Amino acid sequence: MTGARAIDAQVVSTGRTVAASRALPEEVPVALVYNGTTQAVMMATPCDLNDFGRGFTRTEGLGDVDSIEVVSHANGIEVQMWLPEDRATVLSGRRRAMAGPVGCGLCGIDSLDQAIREIPKVDAEVTISSRQIATAMVALRGGQALHDQTRAVHGAGFFHPDQGLIAIREDVGRHNALDKLIGAVQDCAAGAVVLTSRVSVEMVQKTAHSGASIILAVSAPTTLAVKTAEAANITLVALARDDTFEIFTHSHRIQTEEASDVA
């Protein structure tokens, strides 16, 4: 699946109407099913769904799935996954029983404890330079093929200090894009997560479960995202545009030109 479909439209400009075709992102219900039980139904772009399932499982703190299968139905898609029974039982305590809109990463969570649950403290000590941050942001924007088609999706990328931007995933939902990325990358501890979106607390929680120690984002974080990143030992860099960015937590992983001059 490409994730986009051509839709007829009428373009009106300076009083003239012209028939046209516009590529728009697809958005379908995707059920995440574990051992035969639906855990969540998310509205998502129907591409890279194996990555989506694996990444969602990891960011829920459940490790890797034993097997996975994507099954299409008339009214949506199931990502059917199998876990050992002990790990599947953990899900029953926080089942997301309602559909999750694309803008929300916590829909269906039914208690405050589940919303702000404990997350692992990241121990990776990757460092990147100011120049690499600029390179990562440009590479992510330049590699968003679906966004170029539709102008309507978020992107999440993985930047390796020695290899550059090695993976990009896109979705109408920013949380979904990040889950897809985490499912696609074997060793997130080796680099930085790069985001086109704002940084909310769920984005930090997912990154912590991936093991990545640096988040780079084009937009601003929320106050809770900053607090959570501080507690999880994650370096949070946001408002990264051109050669300007702001560091909110754990700045020791960022090598600025001033630091290089002092050294």
3-state SS of 58-97?
HHCCCCCCCEEEEEEECCEEEEEEECCHHHHHHHHHHCCC
Distance CA(241)–CA(178), nearest Å, equals 20
Largest separation between any pair of C-alpha atoms in the chain: 64
Mean pLDDT of 115-121: 79
Catalytic residues: 104
| 75: its two tokens | 């009214």
**Does residue 64 register a pLDDT over 60?**
yes
Beta bridge partners of 24: 5
What are the residues facing 155 on neighbouring strands? Answer: 170
Among 2-11, 16-25, 87-96, 102-111, the minimum mean pLDDT is found in 102-111
Local confidence band at 206 (pLDDT 50, 70, 90 cut-offs) = very high
Mean pLDDT of the chain: 91
> What global pTM score does this model have?
0.91
